């Protein structure tokens, strides 16, 4: 097996929203700051924040497959959902602008935050610049119900509509990170190394699920893909990732037999809930920025990197391991959390 075992990915409709493989960079200053050389541990970052479209981020990989299928089906309007500061909503709007599609967004109040910074800055500002129509819902309203009702009205008016769920995390969307798993394997071969761990956040679970499906298809250890839950509790996050990974494997023509034991999720960085800052997240964001000049977001990658730092301190990461941290983007969210970093 190996990267060639994922050739099925190339037969599934997809639109190119990236600029080729995203780079992998060594985090040498953080290695020195943490004294990792004495333990033979090497840290790398997979820069999925470095994409030219819409500010970049992991959601573009999922959108490549969602919108590839949509264009094949003649879709003219995309309707999607997310939280107020949804990275997925922002990148859906950007991709729709690139492809000449109309875009409407229904944003739910998933985080106990309000104020001008949160409701008008960051991703919300960009949604508008990308010519989407964002609607921030009242507390307790169901964004997907609003999206489906709007899609029904648009279809009645003669439009062909695609409705995307939170994070674009469907089996089809997860294929974007199965493709990323193949990309990582190819970059490993070019560098002559093999990562012992690949670190990601688990929000709507599509990123981890796709990587797990890709690793399973290539015959690699799926538990080397370690995620930190940032949305759901640990057990729920693990089950969602398992189900999505198995369904993604089915789309690849492979048997999905993964169990919960094949999925590595840590719930220790969730804190008080989705989008709620933690001291560990703030410290992790500051460390990455001050040592490497790389920006992490406060909702996803900041908490995931906090989890990795904890695992480095506690010895979960073993001597001699090569660790790849996937920077999933979301930089605009920092501006919505200005007071947290003040």
Return the exposure string of 257-277: e unless at least 16 CB atoms fall within 10 Å of the residue's CB, then b. Answer: ebeeebbbbbbebbbeebbbb
CA 24 to chain centre: 17
The CB-side HSE value for 320 (13 A sphere, CA atoms) comes to 0
* Dihedral in degrees, nearest 10, Cα atoms 144, 147, 152, 153: 150
Q: Which residues contact 266 (CB under 8 A, 6 or more apart)?
A: 226, 227, 228, 229, 234, 307, 311
Q: Which of 80, 86, 169, 204 is catalytic?
A: 86
Q: What sign has the CA pseudo-torsion 149, 154, 155, 161?
A: negative
- Cα 23 to Cα 258: distance, rounded to the nearest angstrom: 29
- Cα 126 to Cα 132: distance, rounded to the nearest angstrom: 9
Question: Which residue in 328, 171, 151, 144 sits closest to 241, CA to CA?
Answer: 171
- Rg over CA atoms, the chain: 19
The CB-side HSE value for 65 (13 A sphere, CA atoms) comes to 27
- What DSSP string describes 128-150? HHTT-EEEEPPTT--HHHHHHHH
Tell me the sheet residues that pair with 104. Answer: 79, 133
Residue 254: CB atoms within 10 Å: 16
Q: Is there a contact between 269 and 280 (Cβ–Cβ < 8 Å)?
A: yes
Q: In the annotation, is 80 catalytic?
A: no
- Cα 25 to Cα 255: distance, rounded to the nearest angstrom: 34
User: What residues act catalytically?
Assistant: 86
């Amino acid at each position: 097996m190996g990267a060639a075992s994922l050739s099925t990915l190339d037969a599934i409709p997809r639109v190119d929203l990236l600029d080729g493989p995203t780079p992998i960079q060594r985090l040498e200053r953080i290695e020195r700051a943490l004294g990792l050389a004495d333990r033979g541990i090497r840290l790398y970052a997979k820069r999925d924040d470095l994409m030219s479209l819409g500010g970049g981020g992991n959601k573009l990989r999922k959108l490549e497959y969602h919108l590839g299928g949509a264009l094949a089906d003649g879709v003219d309007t995309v309707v999607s959902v997310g939280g107020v500061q949804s990275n997925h909503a922002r990148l859906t709007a950007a991709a729709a602008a690139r492809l000449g599609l109309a875009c409407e967004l229904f944003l739910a109040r998933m985080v106990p935050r309000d104020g001008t910074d949160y409701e008008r800055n960051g991703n919300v500002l960009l949604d508008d610049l990308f010519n989407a129509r964002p609607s921030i819902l009242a507390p307790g309203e169901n964004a997907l119900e609003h999206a489906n009702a709007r899609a029904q009205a648009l279809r009645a008016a003669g439009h062909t509509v695609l409705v995307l769920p939170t994070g674009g995390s469907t089996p089809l969307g997860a294929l974007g990170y199965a493709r990323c798993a193949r990309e990582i394997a190819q970059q490993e071969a070019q560098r002559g190394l093999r990562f012992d761990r690949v670190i990601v956040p688990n929000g709507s679970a599509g990123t981890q699920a796709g990587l797990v499906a890709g690793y399973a298809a290539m015959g690699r250890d799926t538990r080397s893909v370690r995620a930190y839950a940032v949305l759901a509790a640990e057990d729920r996050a693990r089950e969602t990732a398992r189900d999505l990974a198995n369904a993604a494997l089915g789309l690849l023509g492979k048997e999905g037999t993964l169990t919960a034991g094949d999925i590595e999720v840590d719930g220790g960085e969730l804190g008080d809930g989705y989008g709620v800052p933690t001291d560990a997240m703030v410290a992790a964001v500051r460390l990455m920025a001050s040592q490497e000049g790389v920006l992490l977001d406060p909702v996803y990658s900041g908490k995931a990197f906090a989890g990795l730092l904890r695992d480095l301190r506690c010895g979960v990461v073993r001597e001699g391991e090569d660790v790849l941290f996937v920077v999933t983007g979301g930089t605009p969210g920092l501006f919505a959390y200005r007071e947290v970093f003040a």
